[in-house]
Amino acid sequence: MKQPDRDRGAGGADFSGNASTAVLIPTQRSVMTMASGIATIARLSNGRFRACFGTGYTSRMTIGQPPMPLKALFDYVGALRGLLAGETVMLDGKAARMLHGPGLTLPRPIQVPLWLSVFGPRGNRRAPEVADGIIGPPHPTLPSATMVTGTVLDPGEDPRSARVREAIGPWQVVRWHTAYAVGGPTAVDALPGGAQWRQALESLAPDDERHLLTFEGHVTHLAERDRPLLDHIDLDAMVGDLTTLVGDVADVRQKLARLADAGFREVSYYERRGLLAKPERTLGGHRLYPADAVTLLGVIKAAQRLGFTLDEVAELLDTGRRRHAGVDLAERALAKLDEVNARIRDLEAIRSVLTAVVEAGCDSLTDCTCPSTATAVVSSVVDDLGCGGGGVGG
């Protein structure tokens, strides 16, 4: 997911804080491989990890394939949830379960939140069967997220400026990409600038390879053929659009409040956890966040990037607000520093392995050409990291 341009204190996911995937596509990885990957990342992130899955509507089109059926998505995530819980599930007609030894992953059951990207009514209705939250329309019982793009204007900056168009462009040009992928030349030619965009694309590849270029840079950057489309973005129509947050700080804050009112949960989640004070409301019922709420959100996100959990952040904020004896920031920071140093030691050990493998010219870790150096280092690191077993170096 692309971060909003000129992010003013919102912060993004950091591996030393909370980590989350974009939308994972089950058809691109077996369920056991996915379970192993999730379990490993959960261990490395101390459980501060969330995974999200979808049918691959766009990503599958980029390789010339239809999205996976909704039923297959739910079957996959259901089996994945079972594997992470330490259960035996049926895969390809045979019993299967995770067999990873101690230290390789978190101990099972592994409590990793699994979300779904479901925008249609059927997926939204079935989501509670396997999901802990969704990306899509607000759900009546599950935490809900939405995808937005935008940019914060500098004082006096024209919201129709070239910089603004460039900032939100990667999301806006998807309209033309999807028209071409779904409706073909006729559909995209009916859009402003569509014919010129199509001709530029078609000049680059034969018919059977054009799907590889259609979504190039999807929501992250612009291809050169996309840039003329920026002149056709209707910025006036986005004034009340909650998926495009363009405006000064007050405007963006107001739109975030409206998203919370619509049922999207991150800001209101911080309220429920006691991290943000419950805001006043307008006569129309909209939340009115004070100016210092933006600063506080930045502090929360910064603390998460430093590795503090939300429970730890709440405790630290409560101590500061009440000025009573309680958790000491220095003590907590020292404990967190110990965690960081432990990760650094692990990474240094991994670097030693990789350096030895490269210098020894090894073809593989299990069949090294120089046992006295690389294989010895590999075996030592395996022991240091608590991997156990005898699968490396003999």
| pLDDT tens per residue, range 157-168 | 888 899 999 999
- Mean pLDDT of all residues in 213-236: 92
- Both tokens of residue 105? 């992953």
Closest CA to 354 of 378, 389, 382, 386: 378
Provide the pLDDT for residue 319: 65
64: left (phi over 0), alpha (psi -120 to 50) or beta: left
Give the separation between CA 390 and CA 114, rounded to whole angstroms. Answer: 33
- Mean pLDDT of all residues in 372-384: 50
Provide the pLDDT for residue 290: 63
Would you place residue 338 in the very low, low, confident or very high pLDDT band (cuts 50, 70, 90)? Answer: confident
Instruction: Say if residue 44's pLDDT is above 60.
Output: yes
Provide the pLDDT for residue 194: 96
Instruction: Say if residue 394's pLDDT is above 50.
Output: no
Number of Cβ within a 10 Å radius of residue 204: 13
Half-sphere exposure of 160 (CA within 13 A, CB side): 7
Instruction: Say if residue 387's pLDDT is above 90.
Output: no
Instruction: Say if residue 390's pLDDT is above 50.
Output: no
- Mean pLDDT of all residues in 333-351: 81
Provide the pLDDT for residue 280: 63
Secondary structure (3-state) at 50: strand
pLDDT digits (tens, 9 = 90+) for 261-272: 766 765 544 555
Give the separation between CA 187 and CA 196, rounded to whole angstroms. Answer: 13
Instruction: Say if residue 192's pLDDT is above 90.
Output: yes
